Amino acid sequence: MKKTLVLTVNGERHELQVSADATLLRVLRDELGLYGTKRGCDTSACGCCTVHVDGNSVYACAVYALSVDGSAVTTIEGLGNGDRLDPLQDAFIRAGAVQCGYCTCGMIMSARELLAGTPKPDEEQIRHAIAGNLCRCTGYTKIVDAIKMAAGS
């Protein structure tokens, strides 16, 4: 049975009919076509699906969509301003922090939450902030560099 879900995603209000077992990840990808949020594991362990719900980063695969009814959701598509990239997106490009890129969007969302609360994080704060986001290509070195670059630290 489907129920009505109201979500504001990247500033745009959506009213959708979703089933009780639909995760936020499924709604974002399958209903709203927001492919930037990736499925890597479906068991809240890899971080590829990290998005913000009312400003807090969550694994979208671990959240039932109806449980965040009425919330404001930000995905990677909601970062930056028009053609202007978020400083983190820009820094990930410049630092060479992107390889296969499948983890990148979730990684940036976790880093964005960190910088919102801690504008000048040290290296340990950065590493712990992204410890819930797995990357298999980079060894995280250039990801940490990128976050430092975006923070100007």
Partner 1 sequence: MGGADLIGKSVTRPDALDKVTGGRGYPVNVNLPGMLHGKLLRSPYAHARVRRIDTSEAQRLPGVKAILTARDVPQIPFCPVYFVPSDGETLIRDMLILGDHVRFAGQPVAAVAAISEAIAEAALALIDVDYEELPAVFDPEQAMADGAPQLHDGVARNIAKNPSFEFGDVEAGFAEADHIFEGVYQTQRVHTCYMEPRVCVIDCDRDGHFTVHSSMQHIFGLREKLAYALGIDESRVTVMKPPYIGGGFGGKLDMGYIEPLAALLSQKTRRPVRIEQTRYEDFICTTRNPIKMWLKTGVKADGTITARQAKSILDSGAHATHGAQVIMVHGLFGMTFPYRCPNKKWEGFTVYTNNIIGGGYRGYGAPQGCFAVESQIDEICEKLGLDPIEFRIRNALRKGDPHPFNPAWTLNSYGYEEALRRGAERIGWATRKPAGSSSGVRKRGIGVGTQGIWVSGCMGFPDIYEHTGAIVKLNRDGTADVATGTVDIGSGAITALSQIAAAELGIGVDKVRLVSASTDTVPFDAPTHASRVTYSSGLAIKAAAAEAKKRVFEIAAGLLEANPDDLEMIDAQVRVKGSPQSSLALTEVIRVAETPFIKDTLAGPRPSSPPQYKGTIMGSSSLAPPENPSPAAAMFAEVEVDTETGQVKVLRCVYAHDLGRLINPNGAEGQVEGGIQQGLGYALMENLVFDQDNGACLSADFLDYKMPTAVEMPRVIESIFVETNEPSGPFGAKSLSEQCVTVPAAAIAAAVYNAIGVRITELPITPERVLRALGKL
Chain positions contacting partner 1, by CB under 8 A: 21, 34-36, 38-43, 45-46, 48, 76-77, 80, 85, 89, 92-94, 96, 98-105, 108, 123, 126-128, 130-144
Tell me how far, at minimum, the Cβ of 17 lies from partner 1, in Å: 14
In whole angstroms, the minimum distance from the beta carbon of 85 to partner 1 comes to 7
Q: How far is the CB of 33 from partner 1 (least distance, A)?
A: 9
Collect all residues with Cβ–Cβ distance below 8 Å to 1 and sequence separation of at least 6. Answer: 19, 20
Q: How far apart are CA 147 and CA 88, in angstroms?
A: 6
Closer Cβ to partner 1, 43 or 70, answer by number: 43
Q: Which of these, 125, 121, 7, 123, lies nearest to 63 by C-alpha position?
A: 7
147: its two tokens: 């976050």
Provide, rounded to whole angstroms, the least separation between the CB of residue 99 and partner 1: 4
Q: Which is nearer to partner 1, 71 or 138 (CB)?
A: 138
Q: Which two tokens stand for residue 20?
A: 């009780």
Q: Which is nearer to partner 1, 7 or 76 (CB)?
A: 76
Distance CA 97, CA 36 (A): 17
- The nearer residue to partner 1, 70 or 126, going by C-beta atoms, is 126
Cα–Cα distance for residue pair 105/110, rounded to 1 Å = 9
Nearest distance from C-beta of residue 152 to partner 1, angstroms: 18
- CA nearest 69: which of 6, 138, 143? 6
Smaller CB distance to partner 1: residue 68 or 109? 109
